[in-house]
Amino acid sequence: MPGGPLSSRFGIGVFSTAASAMMAATPGISSLELSLFRLVNQLPGSFRIALASVMQLGSLSAVPASAGVALLKRCPALAADLALAGGLSWGAAKAMKVMVARARPALLLTEVLIHGREQGGNGFPSGHAAVAAALATVAGDHLPAPARCPTVALIAAVALARVYIGAHMPVDVVGGGALGFTIGTAVMARHSPRD
């Protein structure tokens, strides 16, 4: 990857992913993370339907769905990039969950509100946040600058939803978002000119 904006983005992504993994691997929960979790997790139940819907933008099924939309729009290169970035992000998140082994909020804290069904497995990083960030990073590189703002808002909404339903702590979704951003940037770097 040559120097320039993509290599800077990649470096920021790697640093953010590593820093959040170190925070997640550290025993205990910081007071800031606990406060943020409680603030989001205790939002009224009326948020559940809207957040559960937007959360699906980070599910594994969003990968073939977004690639399919790109194919329908006659953008096969974009479809391939979406499939690659989304699939790699999902797989990388699964691998990191084993390496970091941070529990879900219900096992870390008392009085966690579970909005929906309780999630199993480890919490860090959020696979939903990773997939959403990877797809948004790839799609964003194909959009004019003003149209990128909604993609960032969707990543934030998916992350918020995962904390709200009680599936993740804030560091989990930050780490997932950073992981997806890193992988999406690496996929897009394949198209940048080589020195």
Each residue of 32-53: pLDDT tens digit?
Answer: 999 999 999 999 888 888 888 8
Other Cβ atoms within 10 Å of 123 Cβ, number: 26
CA-to-CA distance for 58 and 66, rounded, in angstroms?
Answer: 11
Residue positions counted in the chain: 195
pTM of the model: 0.92
37 contacts 114 by C-beta, under 8 angstroms: no
Each residue of 14-26: pLDDT tens digit?
Answer: 999 999 999 999 9
Each residue of 126-144: pLDDT tens digit?
Answer: 999 999 999 999 998 888 8
pLDDT along the chain (195 residues), means of 10: 69 94 94 96 88 92 96 94 98 97 93 85 96 96 83 93 96 98 93 59
If you ran DSSP here, which 8-state letter would residue 57 be given? G
Read off the tokens for 131. 């997939």
Tell me the fold of 5-189: Vanadium-containing Chloroperoxidase; domain 1 (1.20.144)
User: What pLDDT score does 1 carry?
Assistant: 46
CA-to-CA distance for 151 and 133, rounded, in angstroms?
Answer: 8
